[in-house]
């Protein structure tokens, strides 16, 4: 929902007009009842006359009330005015950048407005959320903070400041709050979230947004109320735009500049679901069609574009070109990957610095705006444009219209949206049901993890199953043992037993496995001290340990049917759920949930991540059937390789290395780049298979000699389908991994 609701803007108008003349208790009444005042603030002579009076000697800052209040504030509170012993009051203001600038900067400015209203000195503190690693140095490079702003880290020790006290803006406690030297105003929940004692509001909650906050302001002294009225003289957008410009300077080259007479539109298009590649632009073009009607034939038409999806920008440029209008965006978009598989984050391929750079370019628009006011990122743009245009008009001696034309894009929120009949449905994965096998695994993890075990009063009552993992990477049968471990894991789920991991290489028990396990898995060695683990008697429940192949559903059922009657077995529905996405997916999921990989191998590959990527595993000896295999494989790969426009890349994994073979392969696939990877260890192989951008897998069929091939296939199938599910596009636009086995 847009913040600039009618009621709200009318309150501001009312506040502005009446603050100057009316006692504040009357004002409270006025604010509650006055919903019809549509009076143009510009025509209020009292305010205009006061503007003249407030004017300071130098005309550097525009003669507008909000700017004057800020000027006064800076005179009182800039770093220069701080001395080592003083009795002033402070407010601690947090921020970081450039990630999530929309939310974080709104929170910063909203708390800064509170500080100005309270006449407290702002002390900034740079503090990222744990998930956002941007350093203050990186932030300064793109968004430089104004020098007048003093820092908490520097001044708190010098001034011997006490710990800041979070305050809740309770009108009845204003007197109490006044005694605190340093306060923390309410901020958004996801900043400094580790500080549970801080009070929380939404990013939209500037001091005049919520009724109880307005009541708080009305209960303050007259000077504070007056400051508030002046700050909000042109509305909250102007105020926030002013704070942006006064607190920060964007360091980014602006490649395209407009002339004053140009018809310039700013368009911000945001998509929340990762799988939405931004190729549906009907909402945008509908808005532009209407807005462009207003351009005069003589004026040059410019639409500044910013989006989290490069496709949106490219498609809109084409659309605009046909309409005698120029779409302008930062150059970055040209080289950006457009497949959601590659960026894997809802903010698209160019968030953070890219967003700030876009803001610098797109905020030059003056004629109209397109975007979703429910988005803090769009609102930053709108606020900056609102401030800048009035300042420009003042500089050029022109009248500023009260508002500029705006067209709202529909909200595209994670809980689900589409683009009309016949278009796919988009839903963010956290609003969607997990795939069925994953549901079962999550349930199992919650009941049988190390943590769950610690919470049990009598762990010895629990039933267990021991899964063995090899100790050494040199172990010849490492793949076989890993396969056997996955069988054990599956059996543990099917019999509702807790899987305990034991590391062994037949002769020796070791303390660390060759391949590390996920942290949730309890270790046999740790738990055997606490209670005697009763291992399953006999091998009645164990599958054939020499088998390299995965257990199909009917095989598992047969195995369970032979069970010892004291063993609980899972209901048939649970087994159906486990196998719902197929055996490959199931074993891939078991592998993913149990084995942790710390290999960084992947980073040395992928010269062209946008190309079609094929992973080819072979032991280095195609057994003399090379021609046949190549023919079969090439036929199989046709669907992914048919597009000559897409770059193609085959990563050939071979244990021994045989360059003749690679030469023959490249002759068969002349449009593809062949990347050879030789003699790599199992963890690195598995790491490679965790990349969901592989479009196809080629390798020998499941069998005695091919256990690695099977593990790779299962892992690829799982990773790809899991990521497709996470993309949240239904039906998906990305196909499953193509399997070409010979
Ligand atoms: C300012 O106030 C004076 C009288 O107080 C009035 O004559 C004048 O027109 C006002 N100026 C504006 C710009 O409204
Ligand atoms: C605001 O605070 C500054 C610094 O503490 C002080 O010098 C100034 O007098 C205060 N102004 C008002 C109106 O209280
Ligand atoms: C800071 O406070 C401590 C204890 O409250 C006091 O001992 C010290 O003298 C103070 N320092 C300054 C510079 O005021
Ligand atoms: C066209 O311009 C007029 C005057 O500037 C404005 O009132 C109107 O809202 C604009 N219409 C559109 C669709 O932008
Ligand atoms: C395109 O715009 C230019 C001015 O930028 C104008 O001279 C020309 O007539 C326009 N063409 C069409 C087809 O509207
Ligand atoms: C769990 O074990 C304790 C003693 O180890 C025993 O007294 C209790 O009856 C057992 N509970 C169940 C449900 O088997
Ligand atoms: C499976 O085991 C867990 C942990 O012992 C237990 O809480 C849960 O009720 C069991 N589920 C079934 C279906 O027996
Ligand atoms: C088993 O592991 C131990 C310790 O890691 C090692 O010394 C021993 O050689 C291994 N034995 C075999 C048969 O791999
Ligand atoms: C185990 O697998 C081997 C090789 O596939 C086979 O020869 C043997 O019969 C199997 N044993 C059982 C009990 O299934
Ligand atoms: C069944 O399990 C019990 C206890 O776990 C064991 O004593 C018995 O020998 C088992 N029976 C078979 C046929 O494995
Ligand atoms: C091939 O490329 C064209 C244009 O890039 C695209 O429209 C088409 O969907 C692609 N076909 C396949 C099978 O990827």
Task: Please tell me the residue having the least CA distance from ligand 7 atom 3.
Answer: 447
Which listed ligand is nearest to 476 at the C-alpha? Answer: 8
Task: Tell me if 672 sits within 8 A of 608, measured CB to CB.
Answer: no
Handedness of CA 609, 615, 616, 617 (dihedral sign): positive
**Which atom of ligand 10 has the smallest separation from the CA of 564?**
1
Handedness of CA 353, 358, 359, 361 (dihedral sign): positive
Structure tokens at 136: 């203050």
- Residue with tokens 């700050």, as numbered in its chain: 231
Closest Cα partner for 466 from 414, 527, 511?
527
Instruction: Give percent of the chain above pLDDT 70.
Output: 82
3-state secondary structure 225-248: HHHHHHHCCCHHHHHHHHHHHHHE
Which listed ligand is nearest to 474 at the C-alpha? Answer: 8
pLDDT of residue 19: 40
Note the pLDDT tens digit of each residue in 269-300.
999 999 999 999 999 999 999 999 989 888 89
Task: Say whether pLDDT at 463 is over 90.
Answer: no
**Which atom of ligand 8 has the smallest separation from the CA of 472?**
5
Structure tokens at 175: 């007197």
- Name the β-bridge partners of 448: none
Task: Tell me if 688 sits within 8 A of 605, measured CB to CB.
Answer: yes
Rounded to 5°, the CA angle 652-657-661 comes to 65
| DSSP-derived secondary structure letter, 523 | B
Distance CA 286, CA 281 (A): 9
Hey, what's the torsion of the CAs at 132, 134, 139, 142, to 10 degrees? Answer: -90
| Separation of first and last alpha carbons in the chain | 56
Distance CA 344, CA 342 (A): 6
Which listed ligand is nearest to 460 at the C-alpha? Answer: 6
Task: Please tell me the residue having the least CA distance from ligand 5 atom 1.
Answer: 324
Which positions ≥6 away from 653 have C-beta within 8 Å? 615, 616, 617, 618, 677, 680, 685, 688
State residue 178 phi and psi, 5-degree precision: -65, -20
Which listed ligand is nearest to 84 at the C-alpha? Answer: 3
More confident residue, 612 or 146: 146
Pairing state between β 648-654 and 672-678: parallel
Closest Cα partner for 409 from 362, 359, 368, 373?
373
Rounded to 5°, the CA angle 564-570-572 comes to 115
Distance CA 279, CA 285 (A): 12
Task: Please tell me the residue having the least CA distance from ligand 2 atom 12.
Answer: 119
Structure tokens at 408: 């709202």
Q: Ligand 3 centre and the CA of 161: distance in Å?
A: 9
pLDDT band, residue 437 (cuts 50/70/90): very high
Task: Please tell me the residue having the least CA distance from ligand 10 atom 9.
Answer: 537
pTM of the model: 0.81
State residue 698 phi and psi, 5-degree precision: -120, 140
Structure tokens at 312: 């949106």
pLDDT of residue 347: 83
- Cα-based distances in Å from 696 to 7, 322, 614, 616: 57, 39, 5, 8
Task: Say whether pLDDT at 25 is over 50.
Answer: no
Residues 242-271, mean pLDDT to the nearest whole number: 91
How far is C-alpha 476 from the geometric centre of its chain's CA atoms?
42
Peptide bond into 731 cis (omega under 30): yes
pLDDT of residue 40: 32
- Best of 456, 457, 460, 461 to mutate for ligand 6, by most ligand atoms within 8 A of CB? 461
**Which atom of ligand 4 has the smallest separation from the CA of 401?**
5
Q: Ligand 3 centre and the CA of 154: distance in Å?
A: 16
Residues 55-71, mean pLDDT to the nearest whole number: 75
Closest Cα partner for 467 from 431, 422, 399, 521?
521
**Which atom of ligand 7 has the smallest separation from the CA of 462?**
5
Note the pLDDT tens digit of each residue in 645-696.
678 888 888 756 567 777 888 888 888 888 888 767 888 888 889 888 899 9
Structure tokens at 609: 């991540």
Distance CA 224, CA 116 (A): 9
Task: Say whether pLDDT at 47 is over 50.
Answer: no
Distance CA 740, CA 632 (A): 8
Burial per residue of 526-561, b for 16 or more beta-carbon CB atoms within 10 angstroms, e otherwise: ebeeeeebeebeeeebebeeeebbbbebeebeebbe
- Does the beta carbon of 537 sit less than 6 angstroms from any atom of ligand 4? no
Query: How many residues are given for the chain?
Result: 742
- Name the β-bridge partners of 151: 124
Task: Please tell me the residue having the least CA distance from ligand 1 atom 1.
Answer: 49
Which listed ligand is nearest to 612 at the C-alpha? Answer: 11
Indicate the average pLDDT of the chain: 84
Which listed ligand is nearest to 637 at the C-alpha? Answer: 11
Least confident of 33-42, 172-181, 282-291, 321-330: 33-42
Task: Please tell me the residue having the least CA distance from ligand 5 atom 2.
Answer: 324
**DSSP character string of 169-215:** --GGGHHHHHT-SEEE--B-TTSSTT-TTS-B--TT--TTTSHHHHH
Task: Please tell me the residue having the least CA distance from ligand 7 atom 11.
Answer: 496
- Name the β-bridge partners of 303: 265, 327
**Which atom of ligand 11 has the smallest separation from the CA of 643?**
1
Distance CA 605, CA 269 (A): 33
Q: Ligand 5 centre and the CA of 297: distance in Å?
A: 7
Task: Say whether pLDDT at 207 is over 60.
Answer: yes
Note the pLDDT tens digit of each residue in 291-343.
999 898 888 999 999 999 999 999 999 999 999 999 999 988 888 877 778 77
Structure tokens at 295: 């351009």
pLDDT of residue 571: 82
pLDDT of residue 175: 94
- Does the beta carbon of 135 sit less than 6 angstroms from any atom of ligand 4? no
| DSSP-derived secondary structure letter, 518 | P
pLDDT of residue 709: 87
Task: Say whether pLDDT at 529 is over 90.
Answer: no
Task: Say whether pLDDT at 237 is over 90.
Answer: yes
Structure tokens at 200: 């929380």
Note the pLDDT tens digit of each residue in 387-407.
999 999 998 888 999 999 999
How far is C-alpha 665 from the geometric centre of its chain's CA atoms?
40
Task: Say whether pLDDT at 415 is over 90.
Answer: yes
Task: Please tell me the residue having the least CA distance from ligand 2 atom 7.
Answer: 76
**DSSP character string of 393-426:** HHHHT-PPPSS--EEEPPP--TT-B-SSTTSPEE
Which positions ≥6 away from 421 have C-beta within 8 Å? none
**What Rg, from alpha-carbon coordinates, does the chain have?**
32
Which listed ligand is nearest to 472 at the C-alpha? Answer: 8
pLDDT of residue 149: 97
For residue 419, count CB atoms less than 10 angstroms from its CB and return exposed for 0-12, middle for 13-18, buried for 19 or more: middle
Cβ–Cβ contacts within 10 Å for residue 15, how many?
Answer: 26
Task: Tell me if 316 sits within 8 A of 305, measured CB to CB.
Answer: yes
pLDDT of residue 27: 36
**DSSP character string of 15-65:** HHHHHHHS-HHHHHHHHHH-------GGG-HHHHHHHHHH--SS-SS-S-H
Structure tokens at 730: 């239904």
- Does the beta carbon of 645 sit less than 6 angstroms from any atom of ligand 11? yes
Q: Ligand 3 centre and the CA of 174: distance in Å?
A: 27
Task: Tell me if 579 sits within 8 A of 572, measured CB to CB.
Answer: no
pLDDT of residue 11: 45
pLDDT band, residue 467 (cuts 50/70/90): confident
**Which atom of ligand 11 has the smallest separation from the CA of 639?**
13
Task: Please tell me the residue having the least CA distance from ligand 6 atom 13.
Answer: 461
Task: Say whether pLDDT at 578 is over 60.
Answer: yes
- Best of 447, 492, 493, 494 to mutate for ligand 7, by most ligand atoms within 8 A of CB? 447
Q: Ligand 3 centre and the CA of 162: distance in Å?
A: 10
- Does the beta carbon of 603 sit less than 6 angstroms from any atom of ligand 6? no
Structure tokens at 635: 């036929």
**Which atom of ligand 1 has the smallest separation from the CA of 45?**
14
Structural domains in the chain, CATH included, are 65-248 (no CATH), 253-430 (3.40.50), 436-534+546-597 (no CATH)
How far is C-alpha 372 from the geometric centre of its chain's CA atoms?
18
- Does the beta carbon of 555 sit less than 6 angstroms from any atom of ligand 9? no
pLDDT of residue 525: 82
pLDDT band, residue 7 (cuts 50/70/90): very low
- Ligand 1 pocket: which residues have CB below 6 Å? 45, 48-49
pLDDT band, residue 513 (cuts 50/70/90): low
Residues 355-380, mean pLDDT to the nearest whole number: 96
pLDDT band, residue 511 (cuts 50/70/90): low
Q: Ligand 3 centre and the CA of 178: distance in Å?
A: 22
């Amino acid at each position: 929902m847009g913040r600039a609701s009618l009621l709200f803007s009318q309150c501001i108008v009312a506040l502005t007009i009446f603050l100057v003349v009316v006692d504040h208790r009357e004002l409270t009444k006025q604010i509650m009842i006055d919903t019809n005042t549509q009076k143009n603030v510009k025509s209020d002579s009292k305010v205009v006359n006061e503007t003249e009076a407030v004017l300071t000697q130098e005309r550097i800052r525009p003669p507008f009330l909000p700017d004057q209040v800020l000027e006064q504030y800076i005179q009182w509170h800039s770093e220069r005015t701080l001395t080592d012993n003083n009795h002033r009051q402070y407010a601690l203001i947090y921020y970081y950048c450039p990630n999530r600038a929309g939310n974080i900067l709104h929170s910063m400015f909203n708390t800064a407005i509170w500080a100005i209203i309270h006449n407290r000195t702002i002390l900034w503190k740079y503090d990222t959320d744990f998930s956002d690693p941007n350093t203050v140095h990186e932030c300064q490079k793109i968004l430089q903070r104004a020098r007048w702003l003093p820092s908490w880290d520097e001044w708190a020790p010098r001034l011997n400041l006490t710990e800041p006290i979070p305050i809740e803006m309770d009108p009845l406690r204003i007197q109490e709050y006044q005694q605190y030297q340093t306060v923390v105003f309410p901020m958004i929940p996801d900043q400094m979230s580790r500080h549970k004692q801080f009070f929380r509001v939404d990013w939209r909650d500037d001091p005049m947004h919520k009724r109880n906050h307005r009541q708080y302001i009305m209960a303050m002294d007259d000077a504070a109320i007056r400051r508030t009225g002046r700050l909000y003289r042109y509305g909250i957008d102007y105020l926030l735009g002013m704070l942006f410009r006064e607190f920060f300077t964007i360091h980014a080259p602006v490649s395209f500049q407009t002339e004053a007479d140009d018809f310039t539109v700013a368009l911000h298009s945001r998509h929340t679901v990762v799988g939405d590649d931004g190729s549906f632009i009907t909402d945008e073009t509908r808005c532009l069609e209407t807005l462009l009607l207003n351009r005069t034939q003589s004026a040059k038409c410019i639409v500044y574009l910013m989006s989290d999806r490069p496709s949106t920008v490219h498609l809109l440029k084409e659309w605009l070109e046909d309409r005698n209008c120029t779409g302008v965006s930062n150059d970055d978009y040209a080289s950006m990957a457009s497949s959601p598989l590659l960026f894997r984050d809802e903010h698209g391929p160019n968030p953070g610095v890219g967003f700030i750079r876009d803001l610098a370019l797109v905020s030059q628009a003056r004629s109209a705006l397109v975007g979703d006011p429910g988005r803090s990122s769009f609102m930053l743009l709108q606020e900056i444009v609102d401030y800048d245009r009035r300042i420009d008009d003042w500089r050029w001696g022109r009248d500023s219209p009260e508002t500029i034309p705006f067209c709202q894009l529909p909200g595209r929120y994670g809980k689900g949206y589409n683009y009309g009949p016949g278009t796919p449905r988009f839903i963010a994965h956290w609003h969607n049901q997990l795939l069925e096998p994953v549901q079962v695994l999550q349930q199992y993890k919650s009941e049988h993890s190390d943590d769950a075990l610690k919470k049990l009063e009598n762990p010895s009552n629990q039933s267990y199953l021991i899964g063995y993992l090899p100790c050494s990477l040199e172990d010849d049968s490492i793949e076989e043992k890993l396969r056997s471990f996955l069988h054990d894991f599956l059996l543990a789920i099917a019999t509702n037993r807790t899987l305990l991991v034991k590391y062994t290489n037949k002769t020796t028990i070791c303390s660390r496995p060759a391949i590390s396990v996920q942290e949730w898995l309890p270790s046999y060695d740790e738990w055997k001290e606490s209670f005697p683990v009763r291992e399953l008697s006999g091998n009645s429940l164990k599958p054939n340990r020499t088998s390299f192949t995965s257990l199909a559903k009917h095989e598992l059922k047969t195995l369970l049917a032979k069970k010892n009657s004291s063993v609980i077995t899972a209901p048939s529905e649970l087994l159906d759920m486990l196998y719902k996405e197929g055996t490959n997916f199931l074993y891939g999921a078991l592998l993913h949930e149990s084995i942790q990989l710390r290999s960084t191998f992947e980073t040395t590959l992928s010269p062209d991540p946008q190309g079609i990527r094929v992973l080819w595993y072979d032991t280095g000896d195609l057994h003399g059937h090379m021609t046949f295999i190549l023919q079969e494989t090439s036929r199989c790969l046709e669907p992914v390789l048919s597009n000559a426009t897409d770059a193609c890349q085959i990563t050939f994994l071979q244990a021994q290395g045989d360059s003749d073979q690679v030469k023959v392969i490249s002759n068969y696939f002349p449009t593809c780049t062949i990347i050879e990877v030789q003699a790599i260890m199992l963890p690195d192989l598995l790491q490679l298979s965790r990349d969901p951008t592989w479009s196809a897998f080629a390798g020998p069929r499941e069998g005695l000699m091919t256990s690695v091939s099977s593990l790779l296939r299962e892992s690829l199938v799982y990773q790809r389908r899991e990521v497709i599910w996470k993309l949240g596009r239904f039906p998906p636009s990305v196909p499953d991994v193509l399997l070409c086995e010979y």
